[in-house]
Amino acid sequence: MITTRFAPSPTGRLHVGNIRTALHNWMLARQGGGRFILRIDDTDAERSREDYVDAIRADLTWLGLSWDAEERQSARLDRYEAAFAALKAAGRIYPCYESAQELEVKRKIALGRGLPPIYDRAALKLTDAERAAKEAEGTPSHWRFLLDHAEPIQWDDGIRGPQKFDAAQLSDPVIRRADGSWLYMMPSAVDDIDMGVTQVLRGEDHVSNTAVQIQIFTALYAAGFAAGESAAKTLPAFAHEALLVGREGKLSKRLGSLGCDAFRERGIEPEAIIALLARLGTSLPVEPIADRAALVASFDLATFGRAPAKFDEEDLERLNAGIVHQLPFDAVAARLPDGMDEAGWHAIRPNLAHIGEAADWWQLVTGPIVQPDFSAEDKAFLTEAGRLLVWGDSPWGALTTVLKEATGRKGKGLFLPLRQALTGMDHGPDMGELLPLIGEEEARARLGQAAA
């Protein structure tokens, strides 16, 4: 069974980049009839907040991205201890004693010499006596995973194609801090093993993390960590998609304004966000597709490009209008102004960019309206309109037909004064649908007022 996961850290609100990652993993799982796991990566106790966890759940629910299981890393600390012990026994992790300042100095020196800023493995050169002395002095130690420089790292990426890394060009990653807390690398691999994750789809900024984690996977399997359902000892399939950029480049400085709260405040429909992000960065056309099943059916990693995906808020607004124009009355009834029925929604819907604008357009029906000043000629025309108005199944069509014959007017000269008198505007919903909603009594009153 295909199993994917979305693993946000509850240290802030979801932004458009997170949403895109969650959506693509959800689509990958749904397309294959598999499982989509929400994994809360909350091992950073200082920065993780429960209100952010609640917000992540609420945002995914609003977007319609339902998950089949939820896991919390904070509830799985015993599994990380077991993995740590297995790797330690296998000689694949080692203690290091450098401070953050010392590591930064080493990094700068390496860069100054034109060398890659990777850890020099100085801690491995310490003798047992030197390590014992540091521990006796109370020097705090953090722990690194020992990469195997002789083991080739390669995989066939679902988007980027064949990938190959030289482990000697990578730093041994820190997997545990001096205070005992966990960093991302090892717990993520442990979770993917335990939860049976088969597909890891994430941003291309994680490519080097994948190279490291492949060795962590194989080291855990070799150490006998995986058992039971995990005994197959297979790696997930990895795919890394291009990151989002904006018109001016990186989105990083503006991501806070591109979250679900901001979208909701602007009246953006979740289906518009889904329609945009589902195909952004692919060769498939970005269209206002409200049918989520159709989007899922067309999802294909082979269509993803390597170029950065451009997120344009104008595109989102355009898609939002297209989605609104498709929404049925039942889907929006609770959000419409009092008194607006299905006929009213059908009449006004083509003029909306956001559902929140419905109240303004509905006022054309309920009033009051502000009519323009009409010329004497138009007043006479509107007087004739009031006289010839006969109410029936199609009052607008009947009125314009008889007025055309009686006055000789046509085109703009025929239709515009009538629209202005009946709605106070020179554009708007189809009058054939709108006039029956205004009603005969009110329509006669408005024509009379305009002609006075």
Residue pLDDT, tens place only, 278-291: 999 999 999 999 99
Exposure class string for 61-100: b at 16+ Cβ within 10 A, else e:
eebebebeeebebeebeebbeebbebbeeeebbbbbbbee
State the pLDDT at residue 232: 60
Of 306, 339, 365, which one is at a domain's C-terminal end? 365
Residues 331, 346: Cα–Cα separation, whole Å: 13
Is residue 253 part of an annotated ligand binding site? Answer: yes
**Two tokens, residue 20:** 């895109």
pLDDT, tens only, 27-86: 999 999 999 999 999 998 888 999 999 999 999 999 999 999 999 999 999 999 999 999
Of 365, 392, 418, which one is at a domain's C-terminal end? 365
**Two tokens, residue 348:** 């006004």
End-to-end CA distance of the chain: 74
**Two tokens, residue 138:** 């109370």
Number of domains composing the chain: 2
Do 356 and 372 lie in a common domain? no
Going by pLDDT thresholds of 50, 70 and 90, the confidence category of residue 226 is confident
Domain that holds residue 354: 329-365
340 inside domain: yes
Of 349, 365, 381, which one is at a domain's C-terminal end? 365
Residues 436, 434: Cα–Cα separation, whole Å: 6
pTM of the model: 0.90
416 inside domain: yes
99 inside domain: no
203 inside domain: no
Going by pLDDT thresholds of 50, 70 and 90, the confidence category of residue 253 is very low
204 inside domain: no
Would you say residue 230 has pLDDT above 70? Answer: no
Average pLDDT over residues 303-319: 94
State the pLDDT at residue 257: 66
Do 361 and 380 lie in a common domain? no
Are β-strands 161-165 and 199-203 bridged in parallel, bridged antiparallel, or unpaired?
unpaired
Do 339 and 378 lie in a common domain? no
437 inside domain: yes
Mean pLDDT score of the chain, rounded to an integer?
Answer: 94
Would you say residue 131 has pLDDT above 90? Answer: yes
Do 401 and 413 lie in a common domain? yes
Residues 148, 152: Cα–Cα separation, whole Å: 8
Going by pLDDT thresholds of 50, 70 and 90, the confidence category of residue 332 is very high
419 inside domain: yes
* Strand order across the beta sheet in which 3-6 lies: 3-6, 35-40, 69-72
CATH number at residue 435: 1.10.10.350
Do 401 and 388 lie in a common domain? yes
Contact between residue 379 and residue 418 where contact means Cβ atoms under 8 Å apart:
no
**In sequence order, what DSSP letters do the residues of 36-104 get, joined into one string?**
EEEEE----TTT--HHHHHHHHHHHHHHT---SEEEEGGG-HHHHHHHHHHHHHTT-EEEE---HHHHH
132 inside domain: no
Would you say residue 228 has pLDDT above 60? Answer: no
Average pLDDT over residues 148-170: 96
